[in-house]
Structure formats: structure tokens, C-alpha cells
């Protein structure tokens, strides 16, 4: 009975997430960009992607959607990815990685790593790009971005990481934002705990295998690429981002931290074309231009 109830909860969350994202963007005039689909032929399985075609003078963005490693897909983030590609003038590949509970940890992280490796090694055959990549993602996707880049130190074609309010630590860590903003926005502390528990499927916070999900003391950030880190004040994950910023600074990573003091989790991706969304797009565009500058 418990398994059945959990499956019903997952289905309900997925339906609600798709619906709310669709409603947020339904009256927005979205840009027209050539898109195409591609199944990445990874060693043991294939992963679906959607490519948004941009300029050959810009890096290709590999994008991992949010949703607690449990919900979200190519459709929930389609408007956001379309706008990000249009504003930055970059080609973008949105990755439809496997989700829990059907595929628990480390499935999403292995998909993210394998997909990124395949894309980097096959840039000449993909949407227009300058031979370089930026890995990006929001929330759980920001976590996949962090974890993937940490496993590819000094990869010369990986020029940057764009992490939007990433999950960086297990909720057992002592973070005030989990209490201060437990119910301040669409992502609540109970939901984040459920996401984490569902994905980890019984693994304890101290299990050493979780290091690839939450890079900690055993992970060096030496060789980590230039980064743009975005956090929101009214977000249980606020302190995740702050701690990551300090860790990257300590490792002498070129990191830019932008904190949105009036916003909650989801503001650039799931609320439609708000002023905060527009400010984020301007930041991302300027940052990409700096990376692309000769």
C-alpha cells in the first residue's frame, strides 16, 4: 500500500508541475527557434534530448531541468530553454535524464555525466557551436550541473557552469534556510525532503556513494570551470548556494554569485516572464558573452 501511495504521489506531482509550468507561460510570445530531437546513444541506454539551434560563435549549453530528480521533463522547461537559447544566442541541448522512483540514485547523475561526455566528444555533429560547452541547470538540475563538472576537472571544452539555486547538500546538513523558508514558496522543506528521500531510496546521508551527488570534503574543486551561481532568498535551498559559493571561492574558482532577495524558488523557470526572470536572462546573457569573448 505504501508503494502504491508513493507512486500516486509521484504521478500527481508530475501532472501538477507540467500544468503549472504550462499555465505560467501560456500567454507569452515565445521566440521561434529551430529545434530538433536526438536520442543520445549511450553505452547501456539512450537519453532523449531536445536541441535549440543557435549561433556557431557561442558555446553549446547542456541543460538539466529541475524537479527534485523526480518530476520535470523536456516539456516543463521548454519555454525557459527556448528563451535562454534565444537571449544568449546559444544552441542548447535539454536532457531528459531518468527520474526516481523508477530510477533511483545514481541514475540521474550517471545520465548527466554520460550525456555531457558524449556531447562534448561529438560537438562537431550537433547544433551550431564554437567547440565549447556550458553546463547549466536549475534546482536538482543545478545539482547535476555541479556534480557533473566536479567529475570533469580541467576539461578544456567545458568553459562554464550556470547553476540556478542548486541543491548542494543533504537536508540533514545544518542550514537555516530550511527552517526560515520552509513554506515561503512553491518548493517547501517537506517537499524537498521527499524529493531527496525518493531519489536516494533509503541511502543514509553518510553513505560515501552520495559524494558524487553532494560533493563534499573528499571532492576538490580544483579545475572547476568559471561559474555563475544564482540563489533566491525565499528558498529552502538558499544556504546550499551560499555554502557552495564559499567553497568555490576557497578553491579559487572564478565564480559570480547573484542573489535575488525578493524571489522564491522557481522564479526564472516556472513563473513566466516576470521582472525577476528578465533580470536573470540579462545576467545569463552578459555572462555567456564574457565567456565567448575572444
Active-site positions read 139, 235, 265
**Cis peptide preceding 223, ω within 30 of 0:** no
Taking the CA of residue 112 as centre, how many other CA atoms within 13 Å lie in the half-sphere pointing to its CB?
30
Print burial letters for 192-227: b (CB count within 10 Å at least 16), e (below 16): bbbbbbbbbeebeeeeeebebbbbeeebebeebbbb
Task: For residue 9, give every residue at least 6 positions away whose Cβ sits within 8 Å of its Cβ, in sequence order, or none.
Answer: 194
Taking the CA of residue 96 as centre, how many other CA atoms within 13 Å lie in the half-sphere pointing to its CB?
16
Name the nearest CA neighbour of 34 among 48, 49, 54. 54
Amino acid at each position: 500500500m505504501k508503494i502504491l501511495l508513493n507512486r500516486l504521489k509521484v504521478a500527481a506531482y508530475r501532472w501538477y508541475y507540467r500544468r503549472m509550468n504550462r499555465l505560467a507561460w501560456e500567454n507569452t510570445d515565445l521566440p521561434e527557434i529551430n529545434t530538433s530531437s536526438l536520442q543520445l546513444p549511450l553505452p547501456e541506454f539512450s537519453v532523449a534530448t531536445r536541441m535549440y539551434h543557435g549561433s556557431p560563435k557561442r558555446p553549446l549549453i547542456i541543460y538539466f531541468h529541475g524537479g527534485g530528480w523526480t518530476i520535470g521533463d523536456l516539456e516543463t522547461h521548454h519555454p525557459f530553454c527556448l528563451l535562454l537559447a534565444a537571449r544568449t544566442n546559444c544552441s542548447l541541448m535539454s536532457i531528459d535524464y531518468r527520474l526516481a522512483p523508477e530510477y533511483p540514485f545514481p541514475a540521474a547523475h550517471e545520465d548527466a555525466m554520460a550525456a555531457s561526455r558524449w556531447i562534448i566528444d561529438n560537438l562537431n555533429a550537433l547544433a551550431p557551436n564554437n567547440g565549447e560547452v556550458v553546463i547549466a541547470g536549475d534546482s536538482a538540475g543545478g545539482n547535476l550541473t555541479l556534480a557533473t563538472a566536479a567529475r570533469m576537472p580541467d576539461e578544456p571544452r567545458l568553459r562554464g557552469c550556470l547553476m540556478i539555486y542548486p541543491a548542494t547538500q543533504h537536508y540533514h546538513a545544518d542550514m537555516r534556510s530550511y527552517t526560515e523558508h520552509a513554506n515561503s514558496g512553491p518548493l517547501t522543506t517537506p517537499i524537498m525532503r521527499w524529493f531527496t528521500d525518493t531519489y536516494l531510496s533509503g541511502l543514509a546521508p553518510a553513505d560515501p556513494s552520495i559524494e558524487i551527488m553532494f560533493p563534499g570534503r573528499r571532492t576538490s574543486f580544483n579545475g572547476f570551470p568559471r561559474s555563475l551561481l544564482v540563489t533566491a532568498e525565499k528558498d529552502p535551498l538558499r544556504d546550499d548556494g551560499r555554502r557552495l559559493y564559499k567553497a568555490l571561492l576557497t578553491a579559487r574558482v572564478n565564480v559570480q554569485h547573484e542573489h535575488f532577495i525578493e524571489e522564491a524558488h522557481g522564479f526564472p523557470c516556472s513563473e513566466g516572464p516576470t521582472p525577476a526572470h528578465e533580470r536573470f536572462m540579462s545576467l545569463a546573457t552578459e555572462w555567456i558573452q564574457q565567456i565567448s569573448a575572444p
